[in-house]
Structure 1
Amino acid sequence: MRIAIGAALMAFACGVGARGQGQADLAVIADKIVTMSRDSAGAQVLLVRDGRIWKVGSRRALEGEATAARRVIRLGPGQVVYPGFIDAHLHVVDVGRSLEEVDLVGKKSLAEALEAVAKAARQTPPGQWILGRGWDHNDWPEKVFPNRRDLDSVAPNHPVYLWRIDGHVGWANSLALRLAGIDAETPDPPGGLIQRLPGSREPSGILVDNAMDLLSGVLPKPSHEDLKRYIVKAMSHFASLGLTCVHDAGVDMPTFSAYRELVEEGKAQIRVYAMASTGPLLDLLLENGPILDPGREMLVVRSLKLFADGAMGSRGALLFEPYSDDPGNRGLLLTPAETIRDLTVRCLRKGIQVCTHAIGDSANRLVLDAYEQALREVGAKDARLRIEHAQVVAPEDVPRFAQLNVIASMQPIHAVSDMPWAESRLGPVRVKGAYAWRSLLEAGARIAGGSDAPVESADPLLGLHAAVSRQDLTGYPPGGWMPEQCVSLRDALRMFTTEAAWAAFAEGSLGSIEPGKWADFVVLDRDLEKIPPREIPEAKVLLTVVGGRVVFRREE
């Protein structure tokens, strides 16, 4: 299928040419435009002026103005316009960096993972670091953590450090541990675990959650230019997937500086809603309040990212009762409840949103309690506090999200990735409260959809497919995993458009195709509402536009 362009599209993208009075900069004419607004029936034409949606309506009402626009895009049969997709939780620098490091995603055995490391060792001078991410022991036949000796066997002369797919476990070889000073005498830090070799105190090479900080100090630090390169690569990737805005979950001061420079240079392709990590950037927010970009809204920093617990795949998520497959282990508390409460109070008084990672049922209740106490103390009316992931929620806590106006920032694709082992972790009863999107929606909660990339693919179509089917790409299991928690396609689309915009206080400018909002939209090669769920991942992004500027166009 082709997109017919009435004039040189790249000239439009660069803003070349004069505009007549009352003339649109860009017109898009389609058989169907899904606006995600209440008044969406019959939309077939959208007009853009000064980077914003100017008019939306039927061909009968607007085709005359559309054909007079400076640039015209006429879509082919079956091609549909949607609001630009918004990913409410991912990690931009990690995505960009993962495109350059050892990729262990999808490796089906320890041997496959080690072969990828061995290949990198052959191409890397001895003594230089080998970094990578994406391994998942749950996908291996053994389903047990690897150890440093495995890495030593293929890369004894390089320090090696590999992040697990969830980012909550690091796998180091002996040289990396030695450089970090981690040995038998090193104690487990609060909220972290140094796994030991059987029958000894010697570290195995596996570092869980806060224990990873023990090694982070010796890892090579990316330069300012490295960070900019990672961001640009990630943004280009996101644009190809139809993403026009992302919420970056955990941004430090160097990354913020790289973002700001890219925006100033006009090289930022998509919008970023940044959650500050604790440290200098948070200090800046608490001193001066939110960092906004009222001109173009390409970079907004008005939220804080905290961690209550770890991840379920590595058994670090904090549970009320022990893991069903690891008796005696209830997970890890990474941040005390009183710290979450106190930081939330300080942030609310400065107009800063708080977004706390919580996966286990105990962690989710702890955060809800902390938020409730903070809201009562400050009396904030529109705080839009968020829980990132909200993966396992006790039934009695489900209504509290709506009662406290706490946003559940969830990643539908996690359910599909985790379903092979989730019940073994949680047991048949507790798993019913996991990935419970429909229960939360029916209780009145708002869900913002994301991917957690690079933990998962950033492709929003995969997120939509998971939300409506709860099946993997092969159609397993038939009927879906716990299908009672499936949501409608319209609800799934809201997660990745209007609800994600609301979660960033951007409902007035993003998330739907309405006059006055930014002209952020994507063109797909098919109508998602007219195909079976199994075909959603097959849809192709043909065009991505941000603020009226083309940032991706699929070449034939």
Structure 2
Amino acid sequence: MRRTLLLALLLGSAAWNAQAQELLIHGGVIYTGVEGQPTAEVVLVQDGRIAYVGSAAGAPEVDYAEALDLKGAVMFPGFTDGHAHLDGIGWRELTLNLEGSTSVADAMARLSAWAQDHPEGPVIGRGWIETHWPEARFLTRADLDAAAPGRIVLLGRADGHAVVASSAALAAAGVTAETAAPSGGEILKDEHGQPTGVLVDAAEQLVSGLTPQANPTALRNAYRAGFRVEAEYGWTGIHFMSAPWRDVPLMEDMALHGEAPIRVYNSITPDGAAELIAGGPRSVADGRIITRAIKYYADGALGSRGAALFEPYADRPDTTGLMQIGEQEIVPLYQAALKGGIQIATHAIGDRGNASVIEWYQQALAGVAPADRPNGADVRWRIEHAQILRPTDYHWFRDLPIVASMQPSHAIGDLHFAPARLGDARLDGAYAWHSLADLGVVVVGGSDAPVERGAPLIEFYAAVARRDLEGFQGPDWRPHEAVDRQTALKMFTLWPAWASFREAELGTIEVGKRADFTAFDVDLMTAPEADIPKGRAVLTVVDGVVVHRADQADD
């Protein structure tokens, strides 16, 4: 006898059986991502795999299927965040969030309120960005000291490449006017030679010992929060960049105990490189947590002027940015990964940073013959961000090839300050999604959350509109680099699957693939651009299990 349970995505209904793996999905447009069969009326799932995709009339009779009615919602292959930080997403939920602060005064008012509500221990926060503030300056330790007198306070800039520390924090870490900045970092100082409190890139490590990440209970709670947020946004998977090596066993344990609702593809911190290479790729819980890549940093970020450029910053001609690593150190590490069958992902934002990584990849690949690599020539190495390129370097992404792992929301946030940082000429190679995709390059879309909000609808909108959320673009923002909607869909479905070696299982709605789906209350393929970020995810399904659905409590 057919058991029917309607999932009222727009109006809410009875609770869905979270363990069900046989279901019939219907009642809305279903975009498959498959050329030649772009839409379907019905999808049948059996044992976590897709058993049928097609018309309602052609659907087989299966009396044991649960019927999931989309009620007009629009379903896609499962959306994957191709670059995000799962731990940071969770910590954002548990610590002081300065996202959206409108001024120094606003940020400090939030700090004061948080400090009063949390009178014990250090105050940790993140999310400030000065580019929209009327003061147009970084925070300083004097700001923090006035807002939270005597407290250890660490507030990370939104991009994660700078932190401002209070006087108490600097003292606890032993940072003084005489402290030398580590290689690849900068300690900003005032006109008297005293630290302002701002530590850039590698200098952030000077105060890292003051953070609460070492508490096992707090850490697990942070990951729980991160998983919850990602599932609610509609992500069925995440490529976790700079996944702390020490946290991999925790994530694996969570997956084995049913606490990892979405897929995680780990690109770990370099401290675990030797052990990962020696042991080879790791996978638990039927591929729910896969650890197969190492993330390195070539340079810093544009907002904090750490991105490495060939020419000086237009708005600060005394610097060309910061390189985090050099050729002699990194090429042997790349080659060791090649021999161990481990993927490489390297952060590069500036044109000099990207050109350096391209050169290092060439050297490493030339130095290890395909016969000496477990993956042969199919290494799928990535550059994370690939944000500012020289157009003459585009072809290397096709020729080597290199996966361009890019975050569309960076472009719609950076458009307010990048022209000042770069000048007009360098914008020709900035956030060049369309140019790279036209060359046949795999362009993986991600959010870089918690640097950005992390919502897939914002990322999709940014990719196709190349405008900020108010519709502003600016006269010099290279509108031709926006992509069409079919390309944008691949950026968040098929191409992340390919970049994680799972295109045979994920990325499209096809018979035999895993039943990962995302449904929104807006049709991304037909809705006016401005309506896209106004929507929300109403359904997230992973391996045929509903891990998030909208109900009346959300309305």
Aligned to 2:80: 86
User: In the alignment, which of 147, 157, 160 is matched to residue 154 of structure 1?
Assistant: 147
Contact 1:224 1:254 in 2 (8 A): no
CA shift at 1:386, angstroms? Answer: 0.2
Aligned to 1:25: 22
* 1:269-300 deviation line (CA, Å, top 9, x unaligned): 10000011011x3222111111123x521000
CA shift at 1:224, angstroms? Answer: 2.2
Residue 169 of structure 2 is aligned to residue 173 of structure 1: no
Contact 2:415 2:473 in 1 (8 A): no
CA shift at 1:335, angstroms? Answer: 1.1
User: In the alignment, which of 380, 396, 400 is matched to residue 396 of structure 2?
Assistant: 400
Instruction: Measure the CA separation in 1 of the matches of 2:53 and 2:503.
Output: 18
Residue 78 of structure 2 is aligned to residue 73 of structure 1: no
Residue 255 of structure 2 is aligned to residue 259 of structure 1: no
What letter corresponds to residue 176 of structure 2 in structure 1? D
User: What SS does the corresponding residue of 1:356 show, helix, strand or coil?
Assistant: strand
User: What SS does the corresponding residue of 1:118 show, helix, strand or coil?
Assistant: helix
User: What SS does the corresponding residue of 2:58 show, helix, strand or coil?
Assistant: helix
Aligned to 1:10: 16
Instruction: Measure the CA separation in 2 of the matches of 1:218 and 1:531.
Output: 47
Counting only pairs closer than 5 Å after superposition, residues 457-536 of structure 1 correspond to structure 2 as 457-477=453-473, 481-536=477-532
Contact 1:26 1:47 in 2 (8 A): yes
Taking a change above 3 Å as real, the CA distance of residues 363 and 114 of structure 1, as seen in their structure-2 partners, is same
Moved more, 527-536 or 317-326: 527-536
Aligned to 2:4: none
TM-score by length of 2: 0.94
Alignment gaps of 5+ in structure 2: 1-6, 371-376
CA RMSD, aligned part only?
Answer: 1.8
Contact 1:469 1:480 in 2 (8 A): no
User: What SS does the corresponding residue of 1:254 show, helix, strand or coil?
Assistant: helix
Counting only pairs closer than 5 Å after superposition, residues 17-56 of structure 1 correspond to structure 2 as 25-56=22-53
CA shift at 1:55, angstroms? Answer: 1.5
Instruction: Measure the CA separation in 2 of the matches of 1:75 and 1:395.
Output: 44
Alignment gaps of 5+ in structure 1: 16-23
User: What SS does the corresponding residue of 1:65 show, helix, strand or coil?
Assistant: coil
Aligned to 2:384: 388
User: What SS does the corresponding residue of 1:99 show, helix, strand or coil?
Assistant: helix
Instruction: Measure the CA separation in 1 of the matches of 2:258 and 2:118.
Output: 35
CA shift at 1:9, angstroms? Answer: 6.0
User: What SS does the corresponding residue of 1:344 show, helix, strand or coil?
Assistant: helix
User: In the alignment, which of 269, 277, 292 is matched to residue 277 of structure 1?
Assistant: 269
User: In the alignment, which of 220, 224, 233 is matched to residue 216 of structure 2?
Assistant: 224
User: What SS does the corresponding residue of 1:311 show, helix, strand or coil?
Assistant: coil
Instruction: Measure the CA separation in 1 of the matches of 2:488 and 2:170.
Output: 44
What letter corresponds to residue 58 of structure 2 in structure 1? A
Aligned to 1:318: 308
Instruction: Measure the CA separation in 2 of the matches of 1:238 and 1:31.
Output: 23
Aligned to 1:287: 278
Residue 143 of structure 2 is aligned to residue 143 of structure 1: no
CA shift at 1:333, angstroms? Answer: 0.5
Contact 1:247 1:272 in 2 (8 A): yes
Aligned to 1:420: 416
Aligned to 1:242: 234
* 1:122-151 deviation line (CA, Å, top 9, x unaligned): 12225x200100001112112222211111
* 1:341-363 deviation line (CA, Å, top 9, x unaligned): 21111001111000000000000
What letter corresponds to residue 131 of structure 2 in structure 1? N
User: In the alignment, which of 334, 340, 353 is matched to residue 363 of structure 1?
Assistant: 353
Aligned to 2:363: 373
Instruction: Measure the CA separation in 2 of the matches of 1:370 and 1:359.
Output: 15
* 1:417-439 deviation line (CA, Å, top 9, x unaligned): 00011110000101111101111
Q: Percent identity at matched positions?
A: 40
Residue 310 of structure 2 is aligned to residue 305 of structure 1: no
Instruction: Measure the CA separation in 2 of the matches of 1:41 and 1:199.
Output: 64
What letter corresponds to residue 106 of structure 1 in structure 2? G
Instruction: Measure the CA separation in 2 of the matches of 1:368 and 1:172.
Output: 35
Instruction: Measure the CA separation in 2 of the matches of 1:416 and 1:253.
Output: 32
TM-score by length of 1: 0.94
User: What SS does the corresponding residue of 2:57 show, helix, strand or coil?
Assistant: helix
Taking a change above 3 Å as real, the CA distance of residues 532 and 150 of structure 1, as seen in their structure-2 partners, is same
CA shift at 1:267, angstroms? Answer: 1.2
What letter corresponds to residue 67 of structure 2 in structure 1? V
User: In the alignment, which of 198, 202, 207 is matched to residue 206 of structure 1?
Assistant: 198
User: What SS does the corresponding residue of 1:453 show, helix, strand or coil?
Assistant: coil
User: In the alignment, which of 439, 448, 452 is matched to residue 452 of structure 1?
Assistant: 448
What letter corresponds to residue 71 of structure 1 in structure 2? E
Aligned to 2:321: 331
